[in-house]
Structure 1
Amino acid sequence: MRHRYGISLGVSPREPLSRTAELARAVDERGFEALWYIDFQLGMKDVYAAMNLAALSTENVLIGAGVTNLVTRHPTVTANATAALDELSDGRAVLGLGAGWSAVLGAGGTPSRLAELRSGIDDFRRLFSGEPCDLDGNEVRLATAKRQIPVYLAVSQPAMLRLAGETCDGAVLMGAADPEFCSWQLDYIHQGLETAGRDRGQLTVDLFVTMSIGDDEASAIDDVRAWATSQAATFHPWKRMPPAWERFRPEFARAAGAYGLVDHLSLQAGHKHTVSDEFVKSVALVGDLDTCVDRLRQLWQLDIDRITFALLSGGREQRLAQLADTVIGAVETEGGS
């Protein structure tokens, strides 16, 4: 059985929106199952414009915000926009929700707490039902609702991991392309499933990773260092993490202090030199082809359903072709099934 893969990307301010359709079509034609678009209103072009263009240009791939939040967009606005995406894509929309980080902090907001997210997930269920429902003390009804669009939650820390297991259709598993780290996270998802009495088949676990392949390891590491730094900055407030990762805590503190929101994921980001090579190699897939393929095989031994690659800027068509034609091909033909 062929494994399931996805792509995550954002539309750079320097990139014409018209190219969104072309790239989305390439993702769809290469057989990727999901296409996630970053929702960051200050650093990238509008996520819904991009997703709607993608919907009209593709036939099979699932399309969703990866991820949106409850702070910069009211749930009724998000639900209506997602219903429109679902209509344009003939039922291929998914909704990715998170506590909020770059989008929320950049707008001067505060990321949602666990209870707010739990309530928000329930709100989306009621809105997508199309029936009258109570929302913050007001009776509302989403006139455009047609079906229960799957809700994914972006998760990394224990309480959020359990919440996804308890209530969601999917989990966007954020953190690291490290088998030990992911296994630690998956234990909490399983706890959530057990608490709610849910079957494992009711939840799609989508692991988000990024990768840079090159015979020159130093160049490959530098290629993903900005992405790794963004991950490190989010790790800084964590109270619990796998014991093996405690050694990186000073790097997380440096990353949080140096991180620049507007340069989020940019290859030219000034904050990207605040983390060590060792951390970058732990959190991302970097190195030559054999090294990256071997790590992917290890990740596929875990209880995950899909691996989504964050497609970094700079030669995206070439990165996509390498990923689809070389990397995935090697995983699937050399012990990846």
Structure 2
Amino acid sequence: MKRRYGISMGVSPREPLSRTAELARAIDERGFEALWFIDFQLGMKDVYAAMNLAALSTDNVLIGAGVTNLVTRHPTVTANATAALDELSGGRAVLGLGAGWSAVLGAGGAPSKLAELRSGIDEFRQLFSGEPCDLYGSQVRLATATRQIPIYLAVSQPAMLQLAAQTCDGVVLMGAADPEFCAWQLEFIHQGLAAAGRDRSELTVDLFVTMSTDDDRQTALDDVRAWAVSQAATFHPWKRMPTAWERFRPEFERAADAYGLVDHLSLQAEHKHIVSDEFVTSVALAGDRDTCVERIRELWQLDIDRITFALLSGGREQRLAQLADDLIANVEAGGEG
């Protein structure tokens, strides 16, 4: 079976939006299956402008927000915008939804609770039906709806993993590019499927991975360190995690105290030296080519359907070429493991 790959990216304030079309075309031509755009209104250019440009510049790749939320935009607004994306792309839109973090906090809101997400998923299903539905205290109908656009939920913790497995078309599996960590998460996905009486084939599991490859290990580590700090900050409130990760709790606390919202994912972030090299190499893929290829092969031994790589800023065309022509090519040359 052919392995499936995706790309996740944001359009930084320093990048012209016009470059989005060029990059999307290159991603599509290289055979990536999905293209996800970060929705962070304070740190990235508008996600819908970027997605619509990508839709008009590509033929095959799936396109979606990776991920949006229920707070910064009302579900009716998101549903209508996603329907427009679906029209422009010829039926290639997907909706990535999450509890919200940087985008929500930046708007003075709070991340959605589990029950709110469950309700929100149901609301999107009703809106995408195109039929009249009783929502928000009245009867509403999304006039632009033409189909049930697939809904993916971004998840990392047990209850969210189970919710996605029970209710969604796909899972954006976030947290770490660590096989042991991912295997722990997948157990909760399997539990959710079983509880809902769903077959595994009804759910697409898309593992999001942040990676940097360089012959100089320290250069690769520093390239992903700011992202690793943002992850460490999100881990701080977790009540449950794999036993092997308990040793990082002091780093999670330091990251939560030092994390700067304005520098979210920035390669120049001042907070990025808070976490250890050991944590960075656990949460991200960083090192020389052989190291990264071997870890990707290990990840493919898990019960996942797609691996999506974050296309970091700074020489994106070069990063894309390295990923597709060198790393993925070498992973595939190794067979099924």
Q: Does 1:147 align with 2:166?
A: no
How many Å separate the matches in 1 of 2:262 and 2:29?
Answer: 32
Q: Which residue of 2 aligns with 1:175?
A: 175
CA-based RMSD of the aligned residues comes to 0.7
Partner of 1:250: 250
- Deviation, 1:139, is 1.1
Matched, 1:283 2:274: no
Map Cα deviations across residues 205-224 of structure 1 (whole Å, 9 max, x no partner).
00000111111111110010
State how 1:154-193 maps to structure 2 within 5 Å: 154-193=154-193
Q: Which residue of 1 aligns with 2:36?
A: 36
Flag structure 2 segments of 5+ consecutive residues without an equivalent.
none
The aligned amino acid for 2:94 is: V
Partner residue in 2 for 1:319 = 319
Q: Could you tell me the percent identity over the aligned residues?
A: 84
* Count of residue correspondences: 337
Query: 1:211 is matched with which residue?
Result: 211
CA apart distance, 1:294: 0.4
Q: State the distance in 2 between where 1:240 and 1:247 align.
A: 13
1:199 aligns with 2:199: yes
Partner SS state of residue 275, structure 1: coil
Partner of 1:15: 15
Question: TM-score, normalised on structure 1?
Answer: 0.99
For residues 84-95 of structure 1, the aligned pairs below 5 Å read 84-95=84-95
Distance 2:134 2:252 in 1: 41
Partner of 1:54, secondary structure, is helix
Query: Does 2:98 align with 1:81?
Result: no
Compute the displacement of 1:334 (Å): 1.2
SS of aligned partner of 2:67: strand
The AA in structure 2 aligned to 1:216 is: D
Query: Are the counterparts in 2 of residues 2 and 332 from structure 1 also a CA contact under 8 Å?
Result: no
Partner Cα separation in structure 2 for residue 251 and residue 212 of structure 1: 21
Find the aligned partners of 1:262 and 1:88 in 2 and give their Cα distance. 32
The separation in 2 between residues aligned to 1:184 and 1:334, in whole angstroms, is 26
SS at match of 1:43: coil
1:271 aligned counterpart, secondary structure: helix
- 1:25 aligns with 25
Cα separation, 1, equivalents of 2:94 and 2:199: 20
1:309 aligns with 309
In 2: Cα distance, 1:137 partner to 1:187 partner: 38
Specify every segment of 5 or more residues in structure 1 that has no aligned partner in the other structure, as ranges: none
Tell me how far apart the structure 2 counterparts of residues 89 and 28 of structure 1 sit (CA, whole Å).
12
- State the SS of the aligned residue for 2:309: strand
What is the CA distance between 1:137 and its match in structure 2? 2.0
SS at match of 2:298: helix
| 1:121 pairs with 2:152 | no
Output the CA distance in 2 between the equivalents of 1:270 and 1:138. Answer: 48
| Corresponding residue SS for 1:295 | helix
2:302 alignment partner, SS class: coil
Task: Say if 2:121 is the partner of 1:102.
Answer: no
**What is the alpha-carbon distance in structure 2 between the residues aligned to residue 83 and residue 136 of structure 1?**
20
Question: Secondary structure of the residue that 1:67 maps to in structure 2?
Answer: coil
Q: Tell me, in whole angstroms, the C-alpha distance in 2 between the residues paired with 1:89 and 1:284.
A: 32
Letter in 2 for 1:10: G
2:25 maps to 1:5: no
Question: Secondary structure, in 3 states, of the residue corresponding to 1:95?
Answer: strand
1:234-249 correspondence runs (5 A): 234-249=234-249
Alpha-carbon distance, 1:65 to partner: 0.2
TM-score where L is the length of structure 2:
0.99
Tell me the CA shift for residue 136 of structure 1: 2.4
1:219 & 1:42 partners in 2: Cα distance? 28
Provide the residue aligned with 1:68 in structure 2.
Answer: 68
One-letter identity of the residue aligned with 1:34: A
Question: Following the alignment from structure 1 to structure 2, what is the Cα–Cα distance between the partners of residues 224 and 175?
Answer: 14
Structure 1 residue 297, shift from structure 2 partner = 0.5
1:288 CA displacement:
0.9
Aligned to 1:334: 334
